[in-house]
Amino acid sequence: AQTVTQSQPEMSVQEAETVTLSCTYDTSESNYYLFWYKQPPSRQMILVIRQEAYKQQNATENRFSVNFQKAAKSFSLKISDSQLGDTAMYFCAFMKLGPNAGKSTFGDGTTLTVKP
Amino acid sequence: GAVVSQHPSWVICKSGTSVKIECRSLDFQATTMFWYRQFPKQSLMLMATSNEGSKATYEQGVEKDKFLINHASLTLSTLTVTSAHPEDSSFYICSARVFGGIGQPQHFGDGTRLSIL
């Protein structure tokens, strides 16, 4: 079974600064996907970024980028130029491929507050 | 694209009532949908995986007779909370994956806040 650990329950950052959210996972799978989802106070979960395990290049989506260290099983999210709208709960998720693919394992989440 | 619509968004009802929540994929086919329960400031707890045309797969500890899931078409799954009691009050979220394609992320509905009086 897979486990996903987010060791930072809460974090805060000043507007326009950079913040990094950590995520580690444990799996015996070699091929899988990792995701970061954002859940703002409105409660809808939104995909932030996706990383394919077989790709060494770190995924980037505008101000959001990841530091994927496969050997260390680490998948951190960096938010640059933080904006007030980034305030949300962030979940790291693991999804394996093959049989029973599609079911994701989520971390406990990190509540991020962006301060003006 | 990949919009998931979940209704209702908020339900308040009396203890003993059965409540049905719908989850629809609006612009894609979803052979698999997932139902989660979430308590305030906590992670999503997977309740069951809903498969079109077959029985749902429930996670350990989830009562099948309490939480009835039906996935009758490629775009609709329903969760019925039968004889709901106050302890069933929670935020319920559905998600769906686009049919086909490797590594497709889950697309989530807006969630349903269920309050049992």
Beta-carbon separation of B108 and A107 below 8 A: no
B52 close to A (CB below 8 A): no
Write out chain B residues lying below 8 Å of A112, CB-based.
none
* A107 → closest Cβ in B43, B46, B49: B43
Name the 3-class secondary structure at B23: strand
Check residue A86 and give left, alpha or beta (phi > 0: left; psi -120 to 50: alpha): alpha
- Min CA distance, B44 vs chain A (Å)? 7
DSSP count for chain A of H helices, then E strands: 0, 12
Q: What is the pLDDT of residues B25-83, one digit of tens each?
A: 998 888 889 999 998 888 999 999 988 888 899 999 999 999 999 988 889 999 999 99
Task: Compute the average pLDDT of residues B89-101.
Answer: 84
